[in-house]
Amino acid sequence: MGLSEILRANLLSPIPLAFALGVVAKLVRSEFTLPRDIYTGLSIYLLFSLGLKGGVELAHASPASIAWPAAATLLLGCITPITTYLVLRRLGRFGVADSAGIAAHYGSVSAVTYIAAMSFTKAVGADAEGFMPTLLALLESPGIHIALAIGAVKTASPDRAVGHVLHEVLTGRTMVLLVGGLVIGALMGEKGWTAIETFYDPKGAVFKGALTLFILEMGVVAGSRLGDLRKVGPFLLGFGIIMPILHGALGVWLGHLAGLSVGGATVLGAMAASASYIAAPPAVRITLPDANPTYYLTAALAITFPFNILLGIPLYYEMARWLAG
Amino acid sequence: MGLSEILRANLLSPIPLAFALGVVAKLVRSEFTLPRDIYTGLSIYLLFSLGLKGGVELAHASPASIAWPAAATLLLGCITPITTYLVLRRLGRFGVADSAGIAAHYGSVSAVTYIAAMSFTKAVGADAEGFMPTLLALLESPGIHIALAIGAVKTASPDRAVGHVLHEVLTGRTMVLLVGGLVIGALMGEKGWTAIETFYDPKGAVFKGALTLFILEMGVVAGSRLGDLRKVGPFLLGFGIIMPILHGALGVWLGHLAGLSVGGATVLGAMAASASYIAAPPAVRITLPDANPTYYLTAALAITFPFNILLGIPLYYEMARWLAG
Amino acid sequence: MGLSEILRANLLSPIPLAFALGVVAKLVRSEFTLPRDIYTGLSIYLLFSLGLKGGVELAHASPASIAWPAAATLLLGCITPITTYLVLRRLGRFGVADSAGIAAHYGSVSAVTYIAAMSFTKAVGADAEGFMPTLLALLESPGIHIALAIGAVKTASPDRAVGHVLHEVLTGRTMVLLVGGLVIGALMGEKGWTAIETFYDPKGAVFKGALTLFILEMGVVAGSRLGDLRKVGPFLLGFGIIMPILHGALGVWLGHLAGLSVGGATVLGAMAASASYIAAPPAVRITLPDANPTYYLTAALAITFPFNILLGIPLYYEMARWLAG
Amino acid sequence: MHTTTLNLVTIIAEPVLEEMLTRELRQMGARGFTVTESRGEGSRGIRASDVPGQNIRIEVIVAPAVVPAILAHVSTHYFPQYAVIAFVQAVEVVRGEKYI
Amino acid sequence: MHTTTLNLVTIIAEPVLEEMLTRELRQMGARGFTVTESRGEGSRGIRASDVPGQNIRIEVIVAPAVVPAILAHVSTHYFPQYAVIAFVQAVEVVRGEKYI
Amino acid sequence: MHTTTLNLVTIIAEPVLEEMLTRELRQMGARGFTVTESRGEGSRGIRASDVPGQNIRIEVIVAPAVVPAILAHVSTHYFPQYAVIAFVQAVEVVRGEKYI
Ligand SMILES: Nc1ncnc2c1ncn2[C@@H]1O[C@H](COP(=O)(O)O)[C@@H](O)[C@H]1O
Ligand SMILES: Nc1ncnc2c1ncn2[C@@H]1O[C@H](COP(=O)(O)O)[C@@H](O)[C@H]1O
Ligand SMILES: Nc1ncnc2c1ncn2[C@@H]1O[C@H](COP(=O)(O)O)[C@@H](O)[C@H]1O
Ligand code: NA
Ligand code: NA
Ligand code: NA
């Protein structure tokens, strides 16, 4: 189908619609919100599902087939925080702390954007490789570490916390559930998996249903940041859309070189284009207190995330198709 | 099957049994209770499910087929709060605040009673129309607004809050999830729905299972109000049973006139007969501080709700069958 | 299959793996943890599922077939707290309070160990009787009552609380959900059950999936107690492994005499071998303040529970097979 | 360390009153407030939430001059009809100007 | 605004003690109490909940005359064996009679 | 009932600071602390959590001698860049030695 149909189909899929509902709820000043523990519980469930399924697939995959994609992912984890930092510092004239803080977000990855990309590729019949969750785990922390390192070096920041914070990122919820899930999934094998598949399968209705509720709340959170869009200024607005496109293109291209399918390259592009809003914010808040949270939270949550799930992913898909010729 | 069998089948279905268990737990002074966030999470899930499924059905329904039922529903939303107010004020000799406060509850609707009616009609093989959730959304707020307006006019109540409160009702959890769900459901269409059906289908096991837990907790809450039954006096006790029957009959009749099936008329009757205990209480507490919460909470939760799910719904069904001749 | 394969299959099943992940997360000093309300909500769901399914099965079972197994279970509920008390007091030279406190834990039962035993027996094709949940409910409280009675008699303990505490145990979450579920399950029958089976069936994917998350958190909790292993001393370490084996053997043997199948005897053995960590701790803390919680919590959670799900259950299964000849 | 003596007013109230109370406190001169979920019992058991006894605990640091107005307000608008209590303490704060 | 000076006794304790403590406080003359969930660390790490460090924070406003009895009670019945602390402050309240 | 007069320092801060603050408080001589989840508003709305306005409320009972050090520490390390406030009160405690 053509781009326009693809876009339309994507916009009318549950993920963007649930996100829009959350935003609208905030716009009409509704007090609706998902209880915090439910929100956390859903994110735990979603991440663990990704890990488990990824582990089951990993057991099948040949090391060779993963090696290059893994290398490409790590490379993205090193490049994207630096490009982000330089663009903001040089072109955007942002301070060191703000530039490094935002770089930590864009150097990491958004699991929900990843999920949206996976279901998009499936919907258009271009399934990504089964080992993608492994790449998701690989992309989570390097970018944050590099960005915080840049920040620590460039600022006379009180490093009383840095070491502790890096450890927190490495042992955070996302890593425990993704990596832990990968190991469990790989060890328990098909037999163990089939017994819990209906509950944990990322392609199943339970996962998709829970995801819809989670994204509804993400919409509420993003909606509460819309007011800040004015505060962040035009440069960051543009940055929040153009940077993902550049990182997305880079991700798709590296994925292509690494031998990923069209679907796989699309998802890797979406991962590179996405910005973390779970692991990065607290880490940045503690190590770069001078970085303004309004900047990095608004850019990641209220600009880049919606752009990716609404338009970015189909765009990266087109890029991947074009590269695949 | 005959009424007695229907009653027996209804009493032995999960909903009344779970409610009874909750009440019994309270009677034996058990400290069992569902964590508050879980309770809220479940209600969010249940309401969103109703909205989504209703939206999918709505996409199929012809405007014509809904017009009259919708009109009938709105009419009920205007009549029931007034009848409630007059009965309490004139016959019951209740004060203005108490009468208006209780009217706000009985003028609105209980989503769980609606769900119980839907599964009852399905069980007896008289499925209600697919667009019923739309009617549920329509009946939610008018009654509250009218009752509070009566209260504001009749009392020299500090209206410093009324406007704000009406807005809260219109943008409350129920409305966001029902209306928002309806829109999403209608937009995503069959394709989007089938991907999440197992999770959200109100006729499915996940929905019914979650509902059972939710009602178990409702039983606990109602059980903690049994002690108040003595406080509310004989009139309110009778009111909590007779008023629903009258409103139920009116709802069934209007539903019948509006062209609803036997199942649809039964459900509309149950909606009219039910009393809200989610949206109404806080609204009344703020705008009518002189209204005694013990009255409206006990009547709605400990009298009318159990009556409807145990005996009321089968009764409304008999009325509908009788009208359908 | 041989014991080694059985062990291996058991170790690589989701339950032990999820538990291990939780422990490892704590070992790497991760701050990961399931929100408390989610943890509570999951335990409520799991217990209610066991009760409902057990009730459905109970409706089929003949009183005769349950009588002896029930008697055997109650007997275990009277013996195990006393053996525990004597072993700790005489051999272990523990104080009265500590001995009675730990006895209250080992005299009761761990629902998760029960579930692990049920799914183990199913996995090896030796399904246990359908009425096992009834036995689980029977074993919950007698042991706690007896142990606390011993403690109250032997110490000049302020009995200002004992009566109240015993009531709390009898009306606690576990009893409400298990007994209540049994009654509801028995009353609603097959028809009611099939409507919610996918959600509540303990052999289904939803139950198993939720269980995995619950056990992941149990691993975290147990992991946070590993440091205490040093504090409890060598005797309690050995006790936490040898006592279960003895109680397990006793349970298997009594189950065999009571006419249970190999699977049923295995599960009864696991129940007898297990130690409660939900109902017992608060009861002991209030009535036996001199008992050191570090002892009973560490023994039950960090020693006996892992031992049972990793090695104990397969062992009890071998015993049962051997007895069955 | 230079500190200033101000007043900490604690208001325990039914949850439905949170938004109204905090808005009014700001109007009466509070520069901020802290809300904590709590539960409790008192002379009057009534609540409009189906979680009986659920309360909110609002803490607000203000200049002593503002206290009488706050107490008068809650006394007239809330004490008669709602389950609400309020109490005042003296507290030492740094950056006293922040709260005035 | 007429206010009365009373005492606010705050007791931080293990969750299992909530029901017993609040019941006893009422018996000792408290007209009400407020409970807040909290967590903490102190000299004694032991807890009987598998959520280590979970605590409850009980606040009770009473007449000064009642304070010694409360402190004596918690000192003898709870301090030795449970993770419990208590501290007292003076507070100004409206409707002083409400608490006595 | 013999009691000692000590100081209760209450710090309201962004959640991300909890571990750092409690560790530093212990280093400065606190024998324990109590943390309560809360939410609030103040002059500075910024937060690094996507739950805006979520706060923690740290209570620590210490000897008066320790208070200046604590206030100085939060003033220099936290007030400039974080949403943090602190206030001090006098409290009567039993077992005064427990906190020193
Ligand atoms: N003496 C008291 N000490 C502490 N808190 C109290 C006291 N009396 C009332 N409260 C709190 O104030 C709320 C409302 O009190 P009341 O209006 O008496 O029902 C109660 O739910 C308690 O949380
Ligand atoms: N110095 C302190 N400041 C504030 N809270 C404390 C202090 N010491 C103990 N606590 C609280 O009292 C509880 C029990 O203290 P402990 O008996 O010392 O373990 C702790 O979990 C803390 O919540
Ligand atoms: N005047 C006040 N009274 C009570 N709490 C306050 C006050 N000002 C600030 N706070 C609390 O301190 C936090 C940080 O304040 P701020 O740094 O002004 O944003 C707020 O979120 C409130 O929880
Ligand atoms: Na990225
Ligand atoms: Na109604
Ligand atoms: Na046992």
pLDDT in tens, chain A (325 residues): 678 888 888 899 999 999 999 999 999 999 999 999 999 999 999 999 999 999 999 998 888 899 999 999 999 999 999 999 999 999 999 999 999 999 999 999 999 999 999 999 999 999 999 999 999 999 999 999 999 999 988 886 655 577 788 888 889 999 999 999 999 999 998 889 999 999 999 999 999 999 999 999 999 999 999 988 888 999 999 999 999 999 999 999 999 999 999 999 999 999 999 999 888 999 999 999 999 999 999 999 999 999 999 999 999 999 999 999 8
> What is the residue with the minimal CA distance to atom 16 of ligand 2?
E42
What pLDDT shows up at residue B67? 96
B-C CB pairs within 8 A amount to 79
Question: What distance in Å separates the CA atoms of residue B314 and residue D5, rounded to the nearest whole number?
Answer: 67
What pLDDT shows up at residue D43? 82
What pLDDT shows up at residue B155? 80
What pLDDT shows up at residue F7? 97
Is C120 strand, coil or helix?
A: helix
Question: What distance in Å separates the CA atoms of residue C224 and residue C153, rounded to the nearest whole number?
Answer: 34
Which token pair is B10?
């209804």
pLDDT band at B297, cuts 50/70/90?
very high
CB B213 within 8 A of CB B42: yes
Question: What distance in Å separates the CA atoms of residue A132 and residue A266, rounded to the nearest whole number?
Answer: 11
What pLDDT shows up at residue A116? 96
E44 Cα nearest atom in ligand 2: 19
Are the Cβ atoms of C30 and A171 closer than 8 angstroms? yes
Which token pair is B106?
């009985």
pLDDT at C1 over 80: no
Are the Cβ atoms of B198 and A210 closer than 8 angstroms? no
E30 Cα nearest atom in ligand 1: 1
Intervals of chain D under pLDDT 50: none
CB C250 within 8 A of CB C76: yes
Which token pair is C232?
């409890």
CB F39 within 8 A of CB F54: yes
Q: Is the model more confident about C63 or about C38?
A: C38
What pLDDT shows up at residue E3? 93
What phi, psi does A316 have (nearest 5°)? -60, -35
What pLDDT shows up at residue B159? 59
Considering CB atoms only, which of E22, E31, E35 is closest to D43? Answer: E31
- Residues B310/B313/B315/B321 CA torsion (nearest 10 deg): -150
* Nearest partner of C6 among C311, C263, C322, C217, judged by Cα: C311
pLDDT at B158 over 90: no
Alpha carbon distances (Å) from E79 to B270, C119, C282, D60, E85: 56, 45, 18, 32, 7
CB D20 within 8 A of CB B286: yes
Q: What is the rounded average pLDDT of the residues B255-261?
A: 98
Q: What is the pLDDT of residues C182-225, one digit of tens each?
A: 999 999 988 899 999 999 999 999 999 999 999 999 999 999 99
- Cβ-Cβ contacts under 8 Å, D83 against chain B: none
pLDDT band at C54, cuts 50/70/90?
very high
* Nearest partner of C297 among C106, C149, C155, judged by Cα: C106
Q: What is the pLDDT of residues B120-149, one digit of tens each?
A: 999 999 999 999 999 999 999 999 999 999
> Does the CB atom of residue F77 touch ligand 2 within 6 A?
no
Q: Report chain F's mean pLDDT, rounded to a whole number.
A: 91
> Does the CB atom of residue D74 touch ligand 1 within 6 A?
no
- Residues C172/C177/C182/C187 CA torsion (nearest 10 deg): 120
Handedness of CA C245, C282, C18, A168 (dihedral sign): negative
What pLDDT shows up at residue B303? 97
pLDDT at C158 over 60: no
Which token pair is A293?
């949270």
Q: What is the rounded average pLDDT of the residues F14-33?
A: 94
Question: What distance in Å separates the CA atoms of residue C324 and residue C321, rounded to the nearest whole number?
Answer: 5
Task: Write the DSSP symbol of residue D55.
Answer: E
Question: What distance in Å separates the CA atoms of residue C325 and residue A316, rounded to the nearest whole number?
Answer: 65
Question: What distance in Å separates the CA atoms of residue B103 and residue B84, rounded to the nearest whole number?
Answer: 5
Contacts 24+ apart (CB under 8 A), A233-242: A235/A91, A235/A92, A236/A92, A236/A295, A236/A298, A236/A299, A236/A303, A237/A303, A239/A87, A239/A88, A239/A92, A239/A299, A240/A299, A240/A300, A240/A303, A240/A304, A240/A307, A241/A303, A241/A304, A241/A307
Handedness of CA A192, A197, A198, A199 (dihedral sign): positive
Q: What is the CA radius of gyration of chain A?
A: 19
Are the Cβ atoms of D22 and F42 closer than 8 angstroms? no
Considering CB atoms only, which of B40, B171, B196 is closest to A28? Answer: B171
What pLDDT shows up at residue E76? 94
Considering CB atoms only, which of B158, B221, B293 is closest to D48? Answer: B293
pLDDT at C121 over 80: yes
Q: What is the rounded average pLDDT of the residues B192-219?
A: 96
CA distance D1 to chain F (A): 6
Q: What is the pLDDT of residues E7-16, one digit of tens each?
A: 999 999 999 9
Number of other residues whose CB lies within 10 A of the CB of residue B148: 29
Q: What is the pLDDT of residues B280-293, one digit of tens each?
A: 999 999 999 999 99
End-to-end CA distance of chain E: 19
Question: What distance in Å separates the CA atoms of residue A202 and residue A198, rounded to the nearest whole number?
Answer: 9
Identify which of D41, D59, D87 to mutate to test ligand 1's pocket (most ligand atoms within 8 A of the CB).
Answer: D41
- pTM across the whole model: 0.95
Left, alpha or beta for C189 (phi > 0: left; psi -120 to 50: alpha)?
left
Q: What is the pLDDT of residues C265-280, one digit of tens each?
A: 999 999 999 999 888 9
Task: Write the DSSP symbol of residue F31.
Answer: S
What pLDDT shows up at residue E1? 74
Are the Cβ atoms of F34 and E43 closer than 8 angstroms? no
Considering CB atoms only, which of A277, A285, A297 is closest to F16? Answer: A285
Q: What is the rounded average pLDDT of the residues F73-94?
A: 95
- Cβ-Cβ contacts under 8 Å, D88 against chain E: 3, 91-93
pLDDT band at C307, cuts 50/70/90?
very high
Q: What is the rounded average pLDDT of the residues C91-95?
A: 96
Q: Measured over all CA atoms, what is the biggest interatomic distance in chain C, rounded to whole angstroms?
A: 56
Identify which of D21, D22, D34 to mutate to test ligand 3's pocket (most ligand atoms within 8 A of the CB).
Answer: D34
Q: Are strands D54-62 and F85-93 parallel, antiparallel or unpaired?
A: unpaired
> Does the CB atom of residue D17 touch ligand 1 within 6 A?
no
> Does the CB atom of residue D57 touch ligand 3 within 6 A?
no
pLDDT band at E48, cuts 50/70/90?
low
Number of other residues whose CB lies within 10 A of the CB of residue B170: 17
Q: Report chain B's mean pLDDT, rounded to a whole number.
A: 94
